[in-house]
Amino acid sequence: MVDKESKGISIEMSEKEGFENNGFIQSEGVEGMEAEAVSQEALPKLCAVGMDLGPMQELTLRPYAGMPKEVLLQFSTQARYRVTREILFWLIIAASLVLLAATVAIIVMSPKCLGWWQASPIYQIYPRSFKDTNKDGNGDLKGIQEKLDYVQYLNIKTIWITSFYKSALQDFGYGIEDFQDIDPMFGTMKDFEILVAAIHDKGIKVIMDLIPNHTSDKHKWFQLSRNRTGKYTDYYIWHDCVQVNGRTIPPNNWSWVYEKGEDDDDDDDDDDDDDDDDDYWLSYALPVSIMGNSSWQYDDVRKQCYFHQFGKEQPDLNFRNQNVQEEIHDVIRFWLGKGIDGFSINTVKFLLEATHLRDEPQVNKSQNPDSITAYSELYHDYTTTQVGMHDIVRSFRHTMDKFMGTEANDHDIKRTMKYYGTSFIQEADFPFNLHLTNMQEISGNAIFETVALWMKNMPQGKWPNWAVGGPNIARVSSRVGKEYTNVINMLLLTLPGTPTTYYGEEIGMEDVTSETAAFPEKSPMQWDDGHHSGFTEGNSTWLPINPAYPNMNVQVQQSQSNSTLNLYRELSLLRNNELPIQRGWMCYIWNDSDVFVYVRELDGLDQVFMMILNFGQETTTDLQALVPELPSKVVTKLSTNSSNNGKDINTKSIKTGKGEGLILEYRTSKPVHKMETFTEKCFVAEKACYSSAFNLLYMYC
């Protein structure tokens, strides 16, 4: 009976595709037969001995976290996973390509960012007159460092420190005794290094003068050259001269450009005070008119004449000598190593002279050659702007590879524009533009003509510069009248390009009228109404201080809302913040004897700024008649009279008083530079367009 039951159970399990293992060792035949029966497909199936489980359901395996690679690979080959993966892959590739294309397009279409020398006015500091810290009456490098917060207060990002090289100071630092040293009057090299670090810490850039044309006759190069020592023999321009009865007969009629003061003679005074040097030199911008002003000076040591385009104490270097050129390149590298951000290169047009030594042609051909006494009576065809001069200047640029401005000082505008270089070869970032300083009389027409002269001759895509003062130029308030100071500052900071402000112009400083001041435009900075205007705590100053300083100083004007100083700050801030003024189009609207009117606008922006500047007498201007598309009402963004700021003005009748300036703001969909009437009256330096959708600038409008 037991055997039958066991047999029945065994048959039942066999029918249910199960197998029996009673723990006994089976024979090989049975073992082989059971191994065949127990296939891989049968393993997952379940059974229960003695239980009727009914029909079995097959289990479905799904993906789960932590699955082994073998299981993962089973799913990865399934269509629903493979297709999804491929779709995601190609979407990522497509998105990457689109992003790359967009990046390239933005780079290609984006206008060049403005350089630091374009983004801010340049503040020119004459160090001897800025701030004295050691009580000797002379400004110094530590004084500049002390006043860096004031520079920031003006919204200035670039300062230009004029010559501080070691020199005899008779020529105010332009006859250099050592190109790699600081004159002790201004401090030490350590002071300079600390100053540069402090300037950079405040986010400000600094440029300095480079004066390569000549040296002092006390320079070691000249001392070695006059003694014919080695390579220095031809560092300067030497030529045989004829001596007749103690009088030198020069090789030709070439004349020098400086004039000695009336009180000067060839004998040295016994006075050791540097104040005697104040009346020694006059600006080279003024033509000389003295007898015997030959540019050749006989040297008793070498028994030859050396050439000097400036004072006899300033012999010209021989730039046809490659060793001389390399010396100047070393000077550039030296100061770059000290942290300087750029250079203003002085007297560049004098670097080369003709080798043939022919007489320069007379302006008046019928004049007796022996009667020529003035520099202006000759055409300086052989001593200025010679072939090869621009190559030398470009080599300077290659070495410094930073900002470079050049002092052109050339009445020929075409020659001046050559300092920009070409479309293939960069020379100066811009030549410093002193044309506004040449105006002795001011009017709306005169301002327009001066501005237009530069803009219409400037090569396409170049950047202009404007200045109304400098160390050798009468201050603008004294030159044209203090009533025009504010409107000239408004002109300076709203024209396209980089404005250059000479220290003190931001408060309307005037030339000192003292009889003892031969250089009234260099009078000390007026900081406050205290002792010596806050310039020094010493007992004296190297030049007299303007007696108007108690009411014309920085401290007083900071507290006056309508002051020249606060207007300058607001103009500088407006220039920095508003794209149309920073880099937009300029279009001339109107000019007459009284007013000069122009607009600044940018492609893509409906915002327009219109400047109405009065350089004459009180007048009324009808802008609606000039530009019918103008809105009837505009807002006064900024005025030389701060009480007018924010007021609405009717464009049909705009009244301006003498020396008054208005910056009007309005919005329009019809910019002036796109009007046919004004096509020939519009200029743009760094063209850019604004996209309001993406809030970015692009180039191709």
Task: Render pLDDT for 63-100 as a digit per residue (tens, 0 to 9).
Answer: 777 878 777 777 777 777 788 888 999 999 999 999 99
Q: How far is CA 688 from CA 600, 607, 673, 685, in A?
A: 13, 14, 13, 9
Give the other-Cβ count within 10 Å of 152's Cβ: 13
State pLDDT tens for residues 537-553. Answer: 999 999 999 999 999 99
CB-CB contact of 120 with 160 (8 Å): no
What is the pairing mode between strands 205-210 and 176-182? unpaired
Pairing of strands 205-210, 342-345: parallel
> Distance (Å, rounded) from C-alpha 454 to C-alpha 414?
10
- Interatomic CA distance for residues 625 and 623, integer angstroms: 5
Residue 686's nearest CA partner among 609, 584, 578 is 584
pLDDT-wise least confident of 183-187, 259-263, 326-330, 521-525: 259-263
pLDDT > 70: what percent of the chain? 84
Q: What is the pLDDT of residue 701?
A: 62
Other CB atoms within 10 Å distance of the CB of residue 695: 7
Token digits for 11? 């048959």
Average pLDDT, the chain: 86
Sequence-distant (6+) residues with CB within 8 A of 151 are 123, 159, 202, 204
The yes-or-no verdict on residue 643 having pLDDT over 60 is yes
* Structure token pair of residue 402: 């930073």
Q: With the C-alpha atoms ordered 251, 257, 260, 262, is the resulting torsion angle positive or negative?
A: positive
In angstroms, the Cα distances linking 533 to 132, 513, 526, 536, 555 are 11, 16, 5, 8, 10
Which contacts of 395-401 are long-range, i.e. CB under 8 A and separated by 24 or more positions?
A: 395/325, 395/329, 396/210, 396/212, 396/328, 396/329, 396/332, 396/343, 396/345, 397/421, 397/426, 397/427, 397/428, 399/329, 399/332, 399/333, 400/332, 400/336, 400/342, 400/343
For residue 9, pLDDT over 50 is answered with no
More confident residue, 33 or 435: 435
pLDDT band at 224; cut points 50, 70, 90 = very high
Separation in Å, CA 407 to CA 16, 212, 242, 322, 426: 109, 12, 35, 23, 16
687: Cα separation from own chain's centroid: 17
Distance, in Å, from the CA atom of 278 to the CA atom of 284, rounded to the nearest integer, reads 15
What 3-state class would DSSP assign to 600? strand
Query: What confidence tens digit (pLDDT) does each residue in 523-581 have?
Result: 999 999 999 999 999 999 999 999 999 999 999 999 999 999 999 999 999 999 999 99
What is the distance between the alpha carbons of residues 15 and 6, in angstroms, rounded to a whole number?
14
> How far is the C-alpha of 8 from the C-alpha of 3, rounded, in Å?
9
Which percentage of the chain shows pLDDT scores above 90? 70
Instruction: Identify the three-state secondary structure at position 333.
Output: helix
How many whole angstroms separate alpha carbon 163 and alpha carbon 316? Answer: 18
Closest by Cα among 418, 355, 361, 416 to 390: 418
pLDDT at 71: 78
pLDDT tens digit string along 94-151? 999 999 998 888 777 777 788 999 999 999 999 999 999 999 999 999 999 999 999 9
The Cα 253–Cα 626 span in angstroms is: 54
Specify whether the backbone of 23 is left (phi greater than 0), alpha (psi in -120 to 50) or beta.
left
For residue 423, pLDDT over 60 is answered with yes
| Model pLDDT, residue 39 | 43
SS3 string, 143-211, reads HHHHCHHHHHHCCCCEEEECCCEEECCCCCCCCEEEEEEECCCCCCHHHHHHHHHHHHHCCCEEEEEEC
How many angstroms separate the CA atoms of 475 and 88, rounded?
A: 71
Neighbours of 691 (CB within 10 A): 13
Contact 287, 378 (CB under 8 A): no
Local structure of residue 360 (DSSP, 8 states) = P
Higher-confidence residue: 629 or 285? 629
Is there a contact between 635 and 651 (Cβ–Cβ < 8 Å)?
no
Exposure of 449 by Cβ count < 10 A (0-12 exposed, 13-18 middle, 19+ buried)? Answer: middle
Q: How far apart are CA 585 and CA 597, in angstroms?
A: 14
Q: Can you tell me the mean pLDDT for 508-536?
A: 90
Question: Quick one: how many helices (H) and strands (E) in the chain?
Answer: 19, 26
How far lies 406's CA from each of 308, 386, 433, 449, in Å? 21, 16, 9, 23
* Residue 365 vs residues 253, 357, 369, 370, 372: alpha-carbon distances, Å: 14, 19, 9, 12, 11
Quick one: which of 398, 405, 392 has its CA closest to 324? 392
Q: Count how many residues are written for the chain.
A: 701
Q: Dig out the tokens for 644 from the structure.
A: 């007018």
In 341-476 the beta strands, taken as DSSP E runs, fall at 342-345, 403-407, 430-432, 465-467
Which pLDDT belongs to residue 333?
98
Please report, as a single letter, which amino acid is at residue 245.
N
Give the single-character DSSP code of 461: T
**pLDDT for the residue numbered 276:** 38
Place of tokens 């004349």: 255
pLDDT in tens, 651-664: 999 999 999 999 99
pLDDT of 37 reads 42
**Using the 8-state DSSP alphabet, how is residue 695 labeled?**
T
pLDDT greater than 70 at residue 514: yes
